[in-house]
Amino acid sequence: MSNRSVQPLGFACQTCAQTIDLTIRPTSADIVGADQIETMQPFDQETNFVDLHLDFPVTFEKYVMGETPFMRAAQRIGHEEMQLHAQRLRYLDEHHGDQRVFATALKHYVRDKKTPFKLVAKKRFKTEVASEKPEDYNAALYNLLAVMMWPFAPPGANEDAVDLFLTTLGPIHKDSRPALRKFVEEILATRFLTTLQHDCLSIYSRILSAELALRPALFLDFDEEYKSAPVAMRVSTAEFQSYKDLYKDIAELVSRQFVLVAAVNNLQKRANHDAFLPGIGLTANGRDFTPANLDEFAKVDFGRKMGFIDDPWYEMQDGAADNQLRNAIAHFKTEYDEVSQVITYHPRKDGLEASAPRTLSFLEFMRRILIAYREMHRLHHLIKALFYYQYLHIDGESDGPQANEAPAD
């Protein structure tokens, strides 16, 4: 059993595919989709056996006395890693009651309701807004994100992202200050940066709402065997249909964030955010698809965006965005087998014939959501850095504190 106070578990019957939901509370348990019968002991191999656990991946194998999901998990990753996984799970359990208040606080921020945001931040999250300056509201916002989203971040990831972006923007600020200022003013005037930030904020509450299905995916952070040779393991709660749009929305958001990556690359190499390397989009047949400016780049499909960034300064994490899976969810066809927890998707569609299907497990899909979220959150630090550039170097009309003085969560 998990330590969560309410544990909603579920699976599909291997014989009839009926969905069976089991909700366990401290003093009761509810079953939907099946009838509880008198316990038969000892458990025999003639009866279907199902391992269930919220916190670890599980498998549908024959019953072996003593081989609980916890024991199997401990054998896969070891004691020290189990303690780290348990620490994150305890944090999720302790802060589960804060999720709705956290979502409300983010809505206050998006709607520029400063007083309600300040009150919620202080009362529920012990976070003070130091002054009425926008940079202090921004600092409080990112402190809230750091508090609530800590279990989903790899150790040190936030600090590494902040260091990368500030050490990249610092030389541009020094050598091409007018060009950097022009870029920031443009993405502010068009509300591109503001809209991008708000869309990022909308994802955090959805990730928290998906935490039950993400718990086994978090476990895979420590499972080196799974990374090298994925095996068929399952998730004991929820279904693919509940989360497929979450993956699509995060992938689309990362695609839009890469507009900033391309702009910084152009500033870094050509001191002009609109200037892409001439001929970088030239094809073998002589057609040149090089974007004329950043606006044209923004319209390019995500799968092609990296091809227009020469010698990129930013490296995407492995598996952070699968454009074919995103297209299948958004435009084409996906199927889900509740019994095997296998997703079948078609990455392309040619005329009346669907493309050759691909498959992945629901556990692997949730893992991809987690990795895509981490990429989005990592790039959100670049959005934060550009807002601080506005507050400290544009609105203040002075050099103010250096870029590397911005808070790092």
For 54-67, the pLDDT digits (tens) are 999 998 788 888 88
Residue pair 80/27 in contact by the 8 Å Cβ criterion: no
* 299's tokens: 């319209």
Amino acid at 172: I
Which stretches of the chain drop beneath a pLDDT of 70? 332, 349-355, 396-409
| The pLDDT of residue 45 | 79
| The pLDDT of residue 402 | 43
114 vs 129: CA distance, rounded Å: 10
Find the helix packing angle between 177-189 and 157-175, rounded to 10°. Answer: 120
| The pLDDT of residue 406 | 44
* Radius of gyration for the alpha carbons in the chain, expressed in angstroms and rounded: 24
Contact partners, residue 222, CB within 8 Å, separation at least 6: 77, 78, 81, 82, 84, 85
**Greatest extent of the chain over all pairs of C-alpha atoms, in Å:** 78
pTM for the model stands at 0.91
Work out the angle at residue 322's Cα, subtended by the Cα atoms of residues 317 and 327, and round it to the nearest 5 degrees: 155
Encode 236-252: b = buried (16+ Cβ within 10 Å), e = exposed.
bbbbbeebbebbbbbbe
